[in-house]
Amino acid sequence: MRMLALLRKELADERQNLALFVPTMIVGFVAVLLPVLVAIVIPYVAGERLSDSSDFEVAIEMYRTQPATRGLDPEAAIQAYLFQFFAVMLVLIPVTSSMSLAAHSVVGEKQARSLEPLLVTPITTFELLGAKVLGAFIPSILLTAGFFLVYIVTAALLARPGVAWALLGPRMVGIVFILGPLAALAALQMAVCVSSRVNDARTAQQIGVFVILPIAGLLVGQLAGAIELTVTLIAWITLGLLVVNAGLMRVGIALFDRETILTRWR
């Protein structure tokens, strides 16, 4: 009940401060725009077909072997491959959003000097941090779902027939709805941990680089052909993120020492 009361306050606070979502919106639009540019706009402007290039033979072969995409023509198979490839960018949406919201949420309480009155209430540290984490997590996931919808609709409208349908497989769902939320949870828990010790939201946000870098690594790894983001690999990363999140939750509660916060925060 107490967690719910504070969660409602967090969400109401965010609704009044929509500027917090600007970085996330930028990342979201870039994530949607990149595959459109690479798979559709650039070939159209250059007057060339992607399937004329030998660079995408692997992509054509990969998609020809999958039952759901067997019917795609070579150009559509490459477009589907590129849209899948850039889907990792969608993971950045909840990460950026949750870091921004969580850092603002805890440091914001410090700056407004509203934390001490809150700590005087019977709320427990778990309830307080739970509300803070959920208050950042829920809008982040809603935004991700929104941009995923835009991603699919964009593919349906601009790419070749069958591409959008080909994107709705377990791999894509795993990336957007499992890896994304877990990476976001890790990022926001890091932001909450750091927020407990700093007085500047930007400092708290910088810790997110530890989550963004591995995501960028995945993107580069795929580009270089070193990594193929298969369902098995997604499952392993999911397991790793679950462990990281469990550890971060313990660290977060341990770091959020009320006495230290009250006596050292100025």
Q: How far is the CB of 139 from another protein (least distance, A)?
A: 15
Verify binding: residue 200, another protein, rule CB under 8 A: no
Q: What is the token pair recorded at 171?
A: 């791999």
Verify binding: residue 47, another protein, rule CB under 8 A: no
H runs (alpha helix) in 113-124: 115-120
Q: How far is the CB of 135 from another protein (least distance, A)?
A: 12
Verify binding: residue 254, another protein, rule CB under 8 A: no
Q: For residue 23, what are the contacts with CB-CB under 8 A and spacing of at least 6?
A: 96, 97, 100
Query: For another protein, which stretch binds (CB under 8 A), given 115-123, 149-157, 165-173, 210-218?
Result: 115-123
Nearer to another protein, 128 or 190 (CB): 128
Q: Give first-to-last CA distance, the chain, whole Å.
A: 30
Verify binding: residue 263, another protein, rule CB under 8 A: yes
Verify binding: residue 226, another protein, rule CB under 8 A: no
Check: CB of residue 184 under 8 Å from CB of residue 137.
yes
Query: For another protein, which stretch binds (CB under 8 A), given 5-13, 32-40, 98-106, 213-221?
Result: 5-13
Verify binding: residue 233, another protein, rule CB under 8 A: no
Verify binding: residue 70, another protein, rule CB under 8 A: no
3-state helix, strand, coil in the chain (%, to 5): 85, 0, 15
H and E: helices and strands count for the chain = 15, 0
DSSP state letter for 66: S
Pick from 59, 76, 82, 115: which binds another protein (CB under 8 A)?
115
DSSP 154-188: HHHHHS-TTHHHHH-SHHHHHIIIIIHHHHHHHHH
Verify binding: residue 19, another protein, rule CB under 8 A: no
Residues that bind another protein (CB under 8 A): 1-2, 4-6, 8-9, 12-13, 16-17, 112-124, 258-259, 262-263
